[in-house]
């Protein structure tokens, strides 16, 4: 099952500048694994070694924020990766 992933600017060095990419997977965890297969290193910048979403990263499936990486993803869904940071 293939979905669309929207890549934020800090991670586009991994996708050769692509803003949206296709990824496979029936859950967010599988989508992230699919991204890692295509863009080596990208997952660890978003998710730590304990499989927790990093503090300044937010993941959404369509309009819904993801707290659990086992959240299902459908073929018409878009996974948004959001970078959230403030200050200088």
Q: What is each CA distance from 10 to 55, 71, 75, in whole angstroms?
A: 15, 24, 25
Residue 54 as a binder of another protein (CB under 8 A): the answer is yes
Residue 11 as a binder of another protein (CB under 8 A): the answer is yes
Residue 38 as a binder of another protein (CB under 8 A): the answer is no
Specify the residue, 37 or 52, whose C-beta has the smaller distance to another protein: 52
* Binding residue for another protein, selected from 38, 40, 74, 75, defined by CB under 8 A: 40
* Binding residue for another protein, selected from 52, 65, 72, 76, defined by CB under 8 A: 52
Q: Residue 22 in 3-state DSSP?
A: strand
If one counts every other C-beta atom within 10 angstroms of the C-beta of residue 22, the result is 13
The burial class, CB within 10 Å (0-12 / 13-18 / 19+), for 35 is buried
* Binding residue for another protein, selected from 38, 44, 67, 75, defined by CB under 8 A: 44
């Amino acid at each position: 099952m293939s979905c669309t992933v929207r890549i934020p600017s800090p991670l586009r060095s991994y996708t050769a500048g692509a803003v949206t990419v296709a990824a496979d997977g029936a859950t967010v965890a599988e989508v992230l694994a699919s991204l890692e297969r295509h863009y080596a290193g990208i997952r660890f910048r978003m998710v730590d070694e304990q499989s927790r979403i990093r503090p300044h990263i937010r993941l959404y499936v369509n309009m819904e924020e993801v707290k659990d990486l086992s959240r299902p993803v459908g073929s018409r869904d878009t996974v948004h990766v959001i970078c959230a940071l403030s200050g200088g």
